[in-house]
Amino acid sequence: MKRSDRLVSLTNYFLENPREHTSLPYFSDKYGAAKSSVSEDLDIIDRIMQEEGIGRLQTLPGASGGVSFIPGFSTEKQNKFIDELCTTLQDPSRILPGGYLYMSDILGNPNMVKEIGRILASAFSDLEIDVIMTVATKGIPLAYAAASVLNVPVIIVRRDPRVTEGSSVSINYVSGSSRKIQTMVLPTRSLQDNANVCIIDDFMKAGGTINGMISLLNEFNANVQAIGVLAEADDEEDERVVEDYTSLVKITNVDMKQKTIKVQPGNIAEIS
Amino acid sequence: MKRSDRLVSLTNYFLENPREHTSLPYFSDKYGAAKSSVSEDLDIIDRIMQEEGIGRLQTLPGASGGVSFIPGFSTEKQNKFIDELCTTLQDPSRILPGGYLYMSDILGNPNMVKEIGRILASAFSDLEIDVIMTVATKGIPLAYAAASVLNVPVIIVRRDPRVTEGSSVSINYVSGSSRKIQTMVLPTRSLQDNANVCIIDDFMKAGGTINGMISLLNEFNANVQAIGVLAEADDEEDERVVEDYTSLVKITNVDMKQKTIKVQPGNIAEIS
């Protein structure tokens, strides 16, 4: 196979298999090309990926050596995306009764979801993460988007047990803002002991739901490595029960009377 | 930019933007390359994509001409994937009380989910589809996987209305197998009139849930263009209330006593 053909095939391979370690001989065999030629291919791909801000190739030398694609998101692309998201969210027609914000169109757009997942995954790129956990329903697409970048499975916590999932562990927790007691369920089979878990959700007010997930994870002796949310509501900051989290945007003010919303970048901008 | 660099950049562009029409001058400008050079690049990419069974580039000539990447799944790859899925599902430890099958590990694996979504999207590739609809919870990842290939948004039907989604339309329907009356809700904002909809779900027994979604879509004057499910249960075939659908696998027999499960390819194998 010629270099030009290999470059198309390899680019596709890496984008399809993020964070997967592949040995150089595998590619030499597959393409019938010398190892040195493959190395040059990889240099080209690495350079373009970095230039376009989509990630980089990580090469490990030696006998057990090989290469893996580490997806990334350049700070520039990230800031631009978050700024646009803030503008989109400030549209007054999003205001719903109770000061909630309509976000289903954003969460229903696969391209937006993919980008949000990538930004969160990039932020947690250096952490040891075995599995991503979310709670039904709205966090699910974001969890899969991040999981597909980190190349780890997703587990979904539900508010009601389902017959199709076998035995489960359930806990009761207090919802942060409404102070109501609620239930959360995770199938026993879905998580191994001592797993390293990243929690992803769409929205955090006081953080009661996420706190519930942490309590549930304690039952599985899991380690919470990271918490990522698309949006946090600023007005509940005093009552917040979750400390260490990463947010893309912060909704600082929803004025029902004036019909205005203020949205600013979340703490991810400070972290990265 | 050199050809080798362009090929990496273009391959990434097409994989990121499926079914998006882009004009050749856009690429000429972006890369500072002659239109003829870009055309040659596209020929290389198209050929390799077809060889690898991941899709093809569709070129439209003329003034309004351009190119779009149509993701595909070769029949060979599809059959191999479905056969492996059948084998995986026949593992007796998947049997749950009531003759249900544990599938959450498969639905929790982003790579599996991506492939299932691709197969369904490829099957519906020639249809006019504006939006994909699913019902919470387990169909959600499959719906997003298919939507990201078809480049359309996802809307999620719920069994309970949420304050964060504004006004909604709800219907009552009869669950096919349990004959219970249930409720389904879709936010008013989420779907425009006369939309072309593809319904995606993980599992279909008699089809009551999918039938409920069809009734709900009638309230929005929507056209159901296609119905795709990961698995159908064969034993309910007599009572089936949905006629026209596409399934990847068919669960033909779950024997609780003998601890055996029989799974065979669904009707997608006959269709394609």
Residue of B nearest to A11 (CA): B8
State yes or no: pLDDT of A253 exceeds 90: no
What pTM value is reported for the model? 0.94
For chains A and B, CB pairs below 8 A equal: 157
Are A110 and B144 inside 8 Å of each other by CB?
yes
Q: What is the pLDDT of residues A83-115, one digit of tens each?
A: 999 999 999 999 988 778 899 999 999 999 999
B81-104 as b/e: b if 16+ CB within 10 A:
bbeebbeebeeeebbbeebbbbbb
CATH number assigned to the domain comprising residue A174: 3.40.50.2020
The residue among B11, B38, B71 that closes a domain is B71
pLDDT of residue A239: 77
The residue among A28, A47, A71 that closes a domain is A71
Residue of B nearest to A186 (CA): B104
Statement to judge: residues B52 and B148 lie in one domain: no
Q: Which of B2, B6, B8 to mutate to test the interface with A (most CBs of A within 10 A)?
A: B8
Residues of B in contact with A190 (CB under 8 A): 104-105, 108
- Closest to A144 (Cβ–Cβ): which among B54, B136, B144? B144
Contact between residue B171 and residue B216 where contact means Cβ atoms under 8 Å apart: yes
Statement to judge: residues A161 and A246 lie in one domain: yes
pLDDT of residue B101: 87
pLDDT of residue A206: 87
Tell me: ipTM over 0.85: yes
Q: What is the pLDDT of residues B18-59, one digit of tens each?
A: 999 999 999 999 999 999 999 999 999 999 999 999 999 999
Residue type for position A201: D
pLDDT of residue B28: 95
How is residue B79 annotated by DSSP? H
Statement to judge: residues A159 and A264 lie in one domain: yes
pLDDT of residue B86: 97
Are B148 and A47 inside 8 Å of each other by CB?
no
Statement to judge: residues B79 and B55 lie in one domain: no
State yes or no: pLDDT of A161 exceeds 80: no
Are A137 and B141 inside 8 Å of each other by CB?
no
Q: For strand B223-233 and strand B196-204, is the pairing parallel, antiparallel, or unpaired?
A: parallel
More confident residue, A4 or A237: A4
Most distant CA pair in chain B: distance in Å?
A: 69
- Closest to A8 (Cβ–Cβ): which among B48, B100, B151? B48
Supply the range of the domain harboring residue A98. Answer: 75-271
Hunting for tokens 């197998």 — which residue is that?
Answer: B177
How many angstroms separate the first and last alpha carbons of chain B? 41
**DSSP, residue by residue, B94-119:** GEEGGGEE--HHHHT-HHHHHHHHHH
Are A49 and B189 inside 8 Å of each other by CB?
no
Statement to judge: residues A149 and A242 lie in one domain: yes
Q: What is the pLDDT of residues A193-235, one digit of tens each?
A: 999 999 999 999 889 999 999 999 999 999 999 999 999 988 7
Contact between residue B13 and residue B57 where contact means Cβ atoms under 8 Å apart: no
Q: Which residues of chain B have pLDDT under 50?
A: none
Residues of B in contact with A52 (CB under 8 A): 9, 12
CA distances from B228 to A41, A107, B133 (A): 40, 22, 10
Number of compact structural domains in chain B: 2
- Closest to A158 (Cβ–Cβ): which among B105, B137, B153? B137
Are A187 and B104 inside 8 Å of each other by CB?
yes
